[in-house]
Amino acid sequence: MPFANSLDLEQTVISLFERDGWQVKPALPDTRDYTFEMERGEECVAVQLRNHKAKVHVGYLEKFLDFLEQPEGARFTRGFLISTSGFSPSVFTYIRTEEVIDISLGTFKDDQIFWELEEPSPTPKEEVTYIGVFTCKGGVGKTTISAHLAGAFALNGYDVILIDLDRQSNLRKLLGDGVYLPGPRGSLGATITVLNHSEWREEDYPDVKIVICDCSPEYDANPEEFIKRFNYCIIPTTLNPLGINKNADVIKRTFKAIRRVNSQAELFVLINNYHADEDRRNEVLNDILKTEFKELTVDDKRCHYIDPEMVAIRFSKQLLYWGYHLVEGSKPQLAFREIAGRSFPKADFLKLLDYLEDHTNLEAAKDSA
Ligand SMILES: Nc1ncnc2c1ncn2[C@@H]1O[C@H](COP(=O)(O)OP(=O)(O)OP(=O)(O)O)[C@@H](O)[C@H]1O
Ligand SMILES: [Mg+2]
């Protein structure tokens, strides 16, 4: 639970550390990269306190890691990320799979800090969740997003079925029958199985609760029975000046096409090929797209525009050359391997997963309120 007053929280946490022999100093002025710093012997630690109602997600972890790797962060030997509401499962996945060793996670509860050592097991899901990745336009990243969202679920411990609804069968070509992602420290991992739509029967896969469909840009090529089942639909698009009005139009047409058969699905516009360093131009383009999009949300509360500041799929070499294994003749894999210590795709898709899951919880909480 968050503290009513962040300053009280800070004081309480500082006294806990001081009791343990840490010498605490305030953060440098004008920084929000960390809350305070402290020293003990050889150690110099940056502490970031997060007093949110929601669990801390991968975005905050990535931001803190970025800071520690920059020149201003270099003097710190470690970072402590402390939350009053715990951490999303993806945070543990990211720490484990990127082998982050210089950050410790703590949850502040009942006037104590509990250091998080164990990864929580995935929350069992009762019902099968259907996620469609769909847009009436070709080449904007449907196949890439379907496969890697499946990958994020698998990294978090869920077995996933990926259904290839596209006539080109790109998923089959790229992933064959599927892939296996090993679990933490030798424990069991999770599988991604690629099927075509006629091969999928829920009763054959009792352990699978996540089904992701890579849809065809030709609406009629997607069996309606699938569109009807979607709980979520992700509509990828891009922020580029030439295409911006056309993209808005494509999104509107896609929404209408889905709504003809499915009135319940939560629809999310997701920006792909995002260049995160283009702050100003992205802001302008984003505003244009968002404005176009607003009229849709007036009547339909289940249409969402994911602000790229929150979650977007960044442009990356890993995703651009994903599929190179076909050229090399090597075994199928996802673009989650890091280059120079980082994997943008992994962080982005874990964030997307968190976003979708948070959304479900929020909706559930609202319904029961
Ligand atoms: N975020 C990204 N960064 C870099 N390259 C990307 C990104 N997303 C997609 N790509 C590249 O763009 C190309 C098209 O992506 P993809 O095949 O996923 O699109 P699609 O919507 O499934 O296309 P189609 O309509 O033909 O099925 C691929 O070569 C992929 O490697
Ligand atoms: Mg495709």
User: CATH number, domain at 180?
Assistant: 3.40.50.300
For the CA of 139, the closest atom of ligand 1 is 23
Q: Whose CA is nearest to atom 29 of ligand 1?
A: 320
Same domain for 199 and 77?
no
Burial of 56 (0-12, 13-18, 19+ CB in 10 A): buried
Report which ligand 1 atom has the smallest distance to the Cα of 145. 18
Kindly state whether residues 93 and 186 are assigned to the same domain: no
DSSP conformational letter for 102: S
pLDDT over 80 at 1, yes or no:
no
Select from 193, 244, 197, 190 the least CA-distant residue to 216: 197
Domains: count for the chain = 2
Q: Does 134 share its domain with 85?
A: no
Task: Compute the distance from residue 272 Cα to the ligand 1 centre, in Å.
Answer: 9
Nearest protein CA to atom 19 of ligand 1, as residue: 141
Residue 271: predicted pLDDT: 95
- The confidence band for 106, taking pLDDT boundaries of 50, 70 and 90, is very high
Task: Report CA(146)–ligand 2 centroid distance (Å).
Answer: 9
Same-domain pairing of 156 and 34: no
Ligand closest to the CA atom of residue 217 = 1
Distance 143 CA to ligand 1 centre (A): 7
Q: Is the pLDDT of residue 192 over 70?
A: yes
Whether residue 161 is contained in a domain is answered as yes
**pLDDT number for residue 367:** 45
Other Cβ atoms less than 10 A from the Cβ of 40: the count is 13
Ligand that comes closest to the CA of residue 144 = 1
Please, which residues bridge with residue 180 across strands? 191
Q: Check whether residue 111 and residue 133 sit in a common domain.
A: no
Helices (H), the chain: 6-19, 58-69, 89-97, 142-155, 170-175, 224-229, 244-261, 279-299, 317-320, 324-328, 344-368
| CB-count exposure of residue 169 (10 Å: 0-12, 13-18, 19+) | middle
User: Can you give the residue range of the structural domain that contains 274?
Assistant: 129-368
**Cross-strand bridge partners of residue 47:** 36, 80
For residue 122, tell me if it sits in a domain.
Answer: no
The protein residue with its alpha carbon nearest to ligand 1, atom 9, reads: 141
Residue 123 falls within a domain, yes or no? no
Task: Please say if the pLDDT value at position 359 is more than 80.
Answer: no
Ligand 1 pocket at CB < 6 A: 138-144, 166, 170, 217, 272-273, 313, 315-316, 319-320, 322
169 Cα–ligand 2 center, Å: 8
Query: What does the alpha-carbon distance between residue 123 and residue 199 come to, in Å, rounded to a whole number?
Result: 27
For ligand 1, atom 4, which residue shows the shortest CA distance?
A: 320
Ligand nearest to the CA of 147: 1
Quick one: 344 and 198 in the same domain?
A: yes
Res. 299: pLDDT tops 50: yes
Residue 340's pLDDT is what?
A: 60
- Same domain assignment for residues 138 and 160: yes
Specify whether 177 is located in the same domain as 221. Answer: yes
Are 175 and 302 within one domain? yes
CB neighbours of residue 264 within 10 Å: 9
Q: Do 291 and 328 lie in a common domain? A: yes
Whole-angstrom distance between the N-terminal and C-terminal Cα of the chain?
A: 18
Decide which of 86, 115, 144 is a domain's last residue.
115
Look at residue 114 and give its three-state secondary structure. strand
Asked if 33 and 101 sit in the same domain, the reply is yes
Q: State whether 89 and 163 are in the same domain.
A: no
> Taken in order 270, 221, 229, 207, is the CA torsion positive or negative?
negative
Average pLDDT over residues 117-131: 83
Could you say which of 76, 93, 115 is where a domain stops? 115
In a domain, 124, yes or no: no
In this structure, the residue with its CA closest to atom 30 of ligand 1 is: 320
- Where is pLDDT greater, at 7 or 349? 349
Q: Taking CA 259 as the corner, what is the angle to CA 228 and CA 361, rounded to the nearest 5 degrees?
A: 70
CA of 214 to the centre of ligand 2 (A): 7
**Does any domain span residue 101?**
yes
What's the alpha-carbon Rg for the chain, to the nearest Å? 22
26 found inside a domain: yes
**Domain C-terminal end among 92, 115, 138:** 115
CATH at 10: 3.40.1350.10
- Is residue 232 assigned to a domain? yes
More confident residue, 136 or 355: 355
The angle subtended at Cα 314 by Cα 308 and Cα 320, nearest 5°, is 150
Q: Which of 133, 135, 144 has most ligand 1 atoms within 8 Å of its beta carbon, as the pocket-test mutant?
A: 144
Kindly give the distance from the C-alpha atom of residue 58 to the centroid of ligand 1, in angstroms, as a whole number. Answer: 24
Does residue 182 form part of some domain? yes
Best CA proximity match to 79, nearest among 51, 98, 60, 52? 60
